[in-house]
Amino acid sequence: MQTCKKNRSLLIEILIALAFVGGALFASTAAYADAENDALIDEGRIIYDETAGGVGCAACHGLLATGDPDAGAPYIRGAGKSEVDAALDGAVPMMGFIELNKQERKAIVAYLGYLTYAEEVLLDPEVAAGKVLFEETAGGVGCQECHGIDAQGDIGPNIVGKETADIYEQLLDNPAMGFIKLTRVEVDSVAAYLNYLHDLETH
Ligand code: HEC
Ligand code: HEC
């Protein structure tokens, strides 16, 4: 009887410890990291980037769902099930050619939710400063002028994930970029932003 009680209290202790570890893990890896959700996000990313309607939602809404004024397609990060369903089921005639089943829609919504995590990372001052330099101010035009929206490439190549050293090399040696003057801190910020774009793509 005695041992049985002892065992039981040991068992309870183990359970409490496990719950504690589980809780800590959950807290540290945030809501997006559980395996099932991860798989769903990956599925949604492929549909979003490439397969929806044979072109991907990205064709109109932009690779990171921030919208594309030229296509008249709005920012849709964080759009919920009802908004996605409405848009696909007739509210947006331009999207009429896209057919997605229930599972695919669920995956898309998970992915759009994941992209809102992008907003939180942007609260990091270094990344936020890098975004402004990238999009608008570096050299008076922004890197985006030549490297395209979300650094996907335009006149200049795709530079997602490029690091401080890569940027310095170009600022010194690349005649096309010679007019851009940046401080060390600014180069670090731009690199932080390019790294952020890389994380978003690969999560
Ligand atoms: C061919 C271009 C195109 C594609 C591809 C496309 N959309 Fe759209 N989408 C639009 C346009 C344009 C609008 C805005 C319509 C309007 O404002 O009347 C829109 C609106 C939306 C809205 C409503 C947003 C709002 O604020 O009202 C959602 C949600 C949406 N799209 C989701 C998606 C998803 C998810 C995909 C991929 C499965 C997708 N779209 C693919 C062009 C597109
Ligand atoms: C006026 C146009 C222009 C602007 C603005 C510009 N770049 Fe470039 N960049 C280029 C071109 C063109 C190349 C390709 C040069 C080559 O291949 O020799 C390049 C190459 C690069 C490369 C090397 C990529 C590789 O794969 O080798 C990096 C990194 C880079 N740019 C970063 C930046 C950053 C960061 C900014 C903003 C601070 C910026 N660029 C602004 C035109 C530009």
d(CA 4, CA 178): 78
Prediction pTM value: 0.60
Tens digits of residue pLDDT in 96-107: 999 999 999 999
Tens digits of residue pLDDT in 123-170: 789 999 999 999 999 999 999 999 998 899 999 999 999 999 999 999
What superfamily in CATH does domain 32-120 come from? Cytochrome c-like domain (1.10.760.10)
Cβ(161) – ligand 1 distance below 6 Å: no
Question: Ligand 2 mean position to 144 CA, how many Å?
Answer: 10
> What are the C-alpha distances in Å from 166 to residues 9, 68, 120, 161, 191?
58, 29, 26, 10, 9
To which residue do tokens 């769903």 refer?
40
pLDDT of residue 200: 81
Tell me the CATH number for domain 125-202.
Answer: 1.10.760.10
Question: Ligand 1 mean position to 60 CA, how many Å?
Answer: 7
Lowest-confidence region among 30-34, 92-96, 113-117, 142-146: 30-34
Averaged over 27-51, what is the pLDDT? 74
Confidence of residue 203 (pLDDT cuts 50, 70, 90): low
pLDDT of residue 104: 98
What number does the ligand 1 atom closest to the CA of 59 have?
5
All CATH 1.10.760.10 domain ranges in the chain, comma separated: 32-120, 125-202
